[in-house]
Structure 1
Amino acid sequence: MSKPVCFIIMSYGKKSYIPKNSKDGAPRIMDYDLIYDELIVPAVTDADMEPVRADHEAIGGIIHKPMFERILLSEYVLADLTGLNANVFYELGIRHAYRPYTTVNIYAKDSVLPFDTNALRTLPYDPENPEEDKIKGTITRFLIEAKDDKLIDSPVFQLVNGLRFQNSIAHEKTEIFRNQVVYNRNIAQKLAEARALPPCERVDAIDAVALSLILKNEETGVLIDIMLSYRAVSAWQKMIEFIEHMPVHVRNTILVQEQYGLALNRDKKRQKAKDVLNKLIENPPPSSETFGILGRVFKDEFTEAFERNDELGAESALDMAIQTYRKGFEADWRDFYPGVNLVTLLEISGQTEEVARIMPVVEFSTLQKLKRQDKQADYWDYATLVELEVIKKNQEKAKHYLIKALSCKIEQAWMFDTTIKNIQLLATFRSRRNEPVDTENYVIGLLQVQKRIFEEKTKKVCE
């Protein structure tokens, strides 16, 4: 994982301000680029961060969208408040409204600060001696403390107790981002058209859009949509490469790192996927999505070990998968993805009492999502209910929900494979316990027929 980004909010070039102790009102000419090069860059670098500032000031006083994105998405911000630049204070206000911590403020010690900033912890520096080691070391220390302690430095969050801006279920956030963030509609349309092409043409079409862009200049919404478009067509290696070439302030966001871990796992880079996801879990509070994706890594390790007759390895991976999915479901009971996987693996391991305890909660969570007016049902909602009914050995209700699943958009044959594989696992382990598997075999047969029909349709279009 790359170094965290520290975005710099400050003035540019040479500008004047009136020092607070000036007797004759004579202005000081401040070389902000010199301050950036000799004070800020070394201090940020010593904190093991990557300093980034905008290439130029906004034209006409209007901050362009990529600037907002850097202010909001960068893990850390260092703001130089010298000279009462209105743009600087506006950008700092945006940061404080969105991020409770990881913002550090500095100013030239002879510069006047507004009354409203008196409550902020702001470090003074000597504008005539910016390369002074002592102040550089202090700035570095403050940045490291911001990294390690996560103390609230935003007066908005300090004064408004319990402020929260997001209440969405973690596994929905990637689609929420794409659906609700307004960005270049021309590119969005091209990507939507690419995803709707016959399977054999989709990857090339997405590539064409991605290669036409200069990534560092693009809005975050565009980059997320390209990433999710590769995910939608199972182009895992392409998705990995695209994420690795994203601007660092976007690449290091939790959303993108979770998807990076997902793609690495699907590309069978299991250990690297675990490293990425465990890094996210080290910074609480981890989300149900992070645990859900990590649980899938252990689940895949379990099935691989089982298939090669590694009984001890399979038991170990199964135990880790159950623990991880449990943590994901406990992190947010509304997120049924880790919940259904937890129930399935508990059933596989023969923990029937736990299954009976948790399954009603998972089923309720799934049915509640289907009732929501703001979310359209998808294949996975109904596939979850199919699996739960198979576990309950209710053949007719499993068929009912499978019919509902088939009415939803199905983009790839692997969607059928995922459900088939889960039910086959149930059948295998129930057979080992001498339990009947009529329901499992019946539903697997229905799914295999539908998968074959889907493949025949898409094959004809591509020929």
Structure 2
Amino acid sequence: MLPLCFVLMPFGKKPIPSGVTVDFDAVYHDLIAPAIEAAGLEALRADQEVSGGVIHKPMYERLILCDFAVADLTGANANVFYELGLRHGVRPSTTVLLYAGSERMPFDVAPLRALPYKLAADGKPSDVEGARQALRKLLETANAARGDENTDSPVFQLVDGYTAPDIARLKTDVFRDRAHYAVEARKRLADARRAGTDALKKAAGELGEVQNLESGVVVDLFLSYRALSAWQAMVELAAQMPAPLARSVLVREQLGFALNRLKRRDEAEQLLAELIKERGPSSETNGLLGRVYKDRWDEARNANDLLKAAGWLSKAIDTYLQGFEADWRDAYPGINAVTLMELKNPPDPRRFELLPVVSYAVKRRLAKGTPDYWDHATLLELAVLQKDEGAAIEAAGNALAAVRETWEAETTARNLALIRAARELRDDEVAWAAMIEDELTKRSAG
């Protein structure tokens, strides 16, 4: 069995002080993981940041018990530095550091040896082959030096008489089993997800008590239920989660999403509004709360309660706008605001100012990385709003090819239906848009 190498680094795309937005997932998959494997080690990455900043028990175990560790110090991420401090306190050697070469290392770690790597304009690593080889050699050197007097931990270098704690072999073996268990658990969930909700619930029951599972596995299960539109299962799972995980932003946001899908609007609104009050507006949280108000507008409109409907529509637009203004790079709340402005009677003139801004935001996102369903769906709605048939058909084809979860296509089809209905009342029909709407509806049914 290969020695384990734990990777300490941020996740996703994050801006750093130099102004660059680093694609840390690409750094891991393109540079770090291949180098670890080439050095004859097995890479283990920290669970994604889903536990509200609280380092949970499996994280401590990995930090202490992994034979090797690689820490990416790019951006001076607080969690990474805390984890590195823990590692240096218990492991005299076998910890390798790296950072984006355009960055200045913080004062406290500047004397430590660290491997610089280069970033391209899109935030992904460049000169990947050279960086991989350099990191592989450092890991091989660390492996060869294990047990020697040389150390890479400043604690062991500078504090006389300080010795490493004794880590029982039994504990190490138990840890290794758990690390592999987490990987196996996620594979089982992926297989069950493809088989449907009943298979997923059965697999979840076989994993054991939620309180005893790693956070990453629990969140994987949580989002697997979302993929299958198993909203009640999401709510029930959230109630069983350990408090730090249940209080995390991701879980609370997605719980609000599930509650709204169950038409428990008051609970969803309260949960999401509290999150905004605590942390300020965000594109994701405001986008979800905007959907709550949008659904309330739709219900009031269908009940012919026109005054109440007008109030909910204005509240939905304001909430989406607040989310878009919190992060102009995320077009999702922006396109929802524009669409709802189109649905007002008369239409909100602010949509003409917002349309090019939203269009620019999604096009910049497309230019910088791999687009997902929502990027193509946003371009589709923009094209329909602008009555651009060619662009709409192209975006629809791309969106249909990128559908991951059936409710995604359902959401877009519903938005197009609302636009169509509003335009019909103004004798402003766009016949070709109905065909696209039908294709999305078929996809959501399938």
TM range (shorter): 0.5 to 0.7
CA contact (8 A) 2:297 2:308 kept: yes
Structure 2 letter corresponding to 1:422: N
Residue matched to 1:418: 411
> SS at the partner of 1:353?
coil
Native 8 Å contact 2:400 2:409 kept in 1:
no
Q: Is 1:433 matched up with 2:414?
A: no
Residues 357 and 252 of structure 1, relative CA distance in 2, 3 Å threshold: same
Comparing 268-277 and 392-401, the one that deviates more: 392-401
Describe the shift of the 1:268–1:186 C-alpha distance in structure 2 as closer, same or farther (beyond 3 A): same
Q: Secondary structure at the match of 2:402?
A: coil
Residue 161 of structure 1 corresponds to none
Find the residue that maps to 1:286 and give its secondary structure: coil
- In the superposition, relative to structure 1, how do residues 262 and 99 fare at CA in structure 2: closer, same or farther (>3 Å)? farther
Matched with 1:98 is 79
Q: TM-score, normalised by structure 1?
A: 0.57
Provide structure 1 residue ranges, at least 5 long, that are not aligned to the other structure. Answer: 1-64, 76-85, 88-95, 101-155, 158-180, 459-463
Report the residue type matching 2:429 in the other structure. V
- Residue 342 of structure 2 corresponds to residue 361 of structure 1: no
Q: Which residue of the other structure, out of 402, 406, 415, is the alignment partner of 1:408?
A: 402
Q: For residue 356 of structure 2, what is the amino acid of its counterpart?
A: P
1:372 to 368, 373, 376: 368
Give me the CA root mean square deviation: 3.5
Is 1:215–1:246's contact at 8 Å kept on the other side of the alignment?
Answer: yes
Structure 1, residues 210-237: CA drift from partner, whole Å, max 9, x if none?
Answer: 2122211211111111110001111001
**8 Å contact from structure 2 (residues 185, 217) kept in 1:** yes
Q: Deviations over 1:125-171 (max 9, x none)?
A: xxxxxxxxxxxxxxxxxxxxxxxxxxxxxxx99xxxxxxxxxxxxxx
Answering whether residue 291 of structure 2 is matched by residue 299 of structure 1, we say no
SS in 1 for 2:420: helix
**What are the within-5 Å matches in structure 2 for residues 315-334 of structure 1?**
315-334=310-329
Q: Supply the distance in 1 between the matched residues of 2:411 and 2:280 (Cα, whole angstroms).
A: 29
- TM-score, with structure 2 as normaliser: 0.59
Measured in 1, the distance between the counterparts of 2:317 and 2:281 equals 17
Answer with 1 or 2: which has the greater Rg. Answer: 1
Partner of residue 387, structure 1:
381
| CA distance in 2: counterparts of 1:334 and 1:236, whole angstroms | 29
Pairs within 5 Å for 1:69-84: 72-73=53-54
315-324 vs 394-403, greater mean Cα deviation: 394-403
Query: CA offset at residue 183 of structure 1?
Result: 8.5
Report sequence identity in percent.
38
- Name the amino acid aligned to 1:354: R
Quick one: distance in 2 between partners of 1:428 and 1:182? 53
Distance, in Å, in 1 between the alignment partners of 2:201 and 2:311 is: 40
Q: Deviations over 1:269-295 (max 9, x none)?
A: 000001111111111333221111000
Post-superposition offset of 1:384: 1.0
Kindly provide the amino acid, as one letter, of the partner of residue 202 in structure 2.
A
Q: Helix, strand or coil: the match of 1:309? A: coil
In structure 2, what is the equivalent of residue 191 of structure 1?
189
Matching of residues 42-81 of structure 1 within 5 Å: 72-73=53-54
Would the alpha carbon gap of residues 426 and 278 (structure 1) be closer, same or farther in structure 2, given more than 3 Å must change? same
Q: Tell me, yes or no, if the aligned pair for 2:235 and 2:259 is still in contact at 8 Å.
A: yes
Once the two structures are superposed, residues 41-72 of structure 1 have per-residue CA deviations (whole angstroms, 9 ceiling, x without a partner) of: xxxxxxxxxxxxxxxxxxxxxxxx89x98793
2:201 to 186, 207, 215: 207
In structure 2, give the amino acid aligned to 1:344: T
